[in-house]
Structure 1
Amino acid sequence: MATRNNGKLKEIKNYLKDYSIVLKCLTDYPQIPEIKEIGETFYDNAFLKAKTVSRWTNLPTLADDSGLEIDYLGGKPGVYSSRWGKTDQERIKKVIQALQNTKEEERKAHFVCVMSLVTLEGGTFTTEGICTGKITLLPKGQSGFGYDPIFIPDGYNLTFSQLGPDIKNNISHRAMALRKMVRIIIDYYQLK
């Protein structure tokens, strides 16, 4: 898995616990340098990370790129979600400030996750997951990471942070993309 993000890794490992898939991450390969997310789309960044890490490790590699797109902000922060500030708190504060004078119905947003798998044979598989919802201006909850304390998914009255990992890992953008990718991996590698 082409990530050093512990929150993301924990989510994915939790989802894969019932499958015979061994997951290693970039912390297992400290010699691999930081991969700059220079793509203009989530797909570009996910593919770049998967391809780069696969070349370094000579292993099939799964990578994702994900982010929050807020309608009122024209899709921002989008592919820059993790770089919209130095810390989760800074990023959340920036979103809240940008939406400070908006009505609730103007704060529609969605999380996007694109996963890319690069195989040793040079094949590439890509999946996408989208979770729609809205932004709350009052951060709530302790679990999760990133924008979880301010994102309320459709059909719920609680933020991702308040819902906790069991529910979030079932309904999130990453869960949707990962569900599709697991089916591809099982079929491609003929796993049971």
Structure 2
Amino acid sequence: MKLLFATNNSNKVKEVQALMPPEIKILSLKDIDCFEDIPETQNTIEGNAIQKAEYIKTHFGYDCFADDTGLEVEALNGAPGVYSARYAGEQKDANDNMNKLLKALQHKTNKNAQFKTVIALNINNKTQTFTGICQGSITTSKQGDKGFGYDPIFKPNNFNFTFAEMDLSTKNSIGHRGKAITKLVEFLKFYELKN
């Protein structure tokens, strides 16, 4: 079974393919020569994931899934949330985003945060969503060079190091995207059996 993942982020493709059973092959937008910016104009993480999956289905005809992830910081009333990728501006630069967040939290004692991923699967013109949440806290400085996005400043609960200091299999086993993908995989296995 081939399934399109509506992303051009090769890090995400790697993370997801590592969690998929071998019979499910993941294609990225690059594989179908789609290099356009897919609209993300909804005001919720779930809304953006659904919008992206529907866009690919409508314009390219592929069964696919899309994800949207946000970092929700308690002391900032859930910000950056749905605006996580462009928190510091349209250039979508991870370092700019992290610097802005660290500055915003400089004088706050509450560093609690959670990563939330919603995956929207559009298959046979039906949409299903799967949510994964990982709770943790924001560090006071960047640590580690693995991962991407906010990984160097997010420390999951019960760990003394950030996502950016973890190997991929550990991150996948406890992380927000891993949890959402696990639910997606369970659904796809059941779907395969039925069809």
TM superposition score normalised by structure 2: 0.92
Give the C-alpha shift of residue 28 in structure 1: 1.4
Corresponding residue pairs, total: 187
Aligned twin of 1:142: 145
Aligned match of 1:107:
111
| Distance across 2 between alignment mates of 1:146 and 1:40 | 20
Kindly provide the amino acid, as one letter, of the partner of residue 33 in structure 2.
P
Question: Alignment partner of 1:143: what SS?
Answer: coil
Q: Using the aligned pairs only, state the percent identity.
A: 36
Amino acid at match of 1:30: D
The one-letter amino acid of 1:164's match is D
Contact 1:107 1:134 in 2 (8 A): yes
Map of 2:188 onto structure 1: 185
- Correspondence list, 1:10-25, <5 A: 10-16=14-20, 18-25=21-28
Query: CA shift at 1:189, angstroms?
Result: 2.2
Q: Match for 1:101: what amino acid? A: H
1:38-62, CA deviations, whole angstroms, 9 ceiling, x for partnerless residues? 0111111001111111223322101
| Maintained 8 Å contact 2:13/2:26 | no
Structure 2 unaligned regions, length at least 5: none
The offset of 1:65, in angstroms, is 0.4
Aligned to 1:131: 134
Matching residue's letter, 1:89: N
Tell me, yes or no, if structure 1 residue 8 matches structure 2 residue 12: yes
Quote the offset at 1:27 in angstroms: 1.1
- RMSD over equivalenced CA pairs, Å: 1.3
Which residue in 1 is equivalent to 2:164?
A: 161
Contact 1:64–1:113, Cα closer than 8 Å, also in 2: yes
Higher strand share: 2
Partner Cα distance (1:31, 1:179) in 2: 26
Deviations 1:120-173 (A, max 9, x none): x21111110000000001110010000000000011010001122121011100
- What amino acid does structure 1 have at the position aligned with 2:78? G
In structure 1, how many angstroms separate the alpha carbons of the residues matched to 2:86 and 2:130?
23
Structure 1 consecutive aligned stretches of length 4 or more whose deviation exceeds 4 Å: none
- What corresponds to 2:66 in structure 1? 63
Indicate if the aligned counterparts of 1:108 and 1:135 stay in contact, CA closer than 8 A.
yes
- Structure 2 counterpart of 1:90, one-letter code: D
The aligned residue for residue 29 of structure 1 is: 32
Choose the corresponding residue for 1:43, options 24, 41, 46.
46
TM-score normalised by L of structure 1: 0.93
Deviation at 1:30, TM superposition (A): 2.5
Letter in 1 for 2:46: Y
Amino acid at match of 1:79: V
Residue of structure 2 equivalent to 1:117? 121
Secondary structure of 1:190's match?
helix
SS at match of 2:75: helix
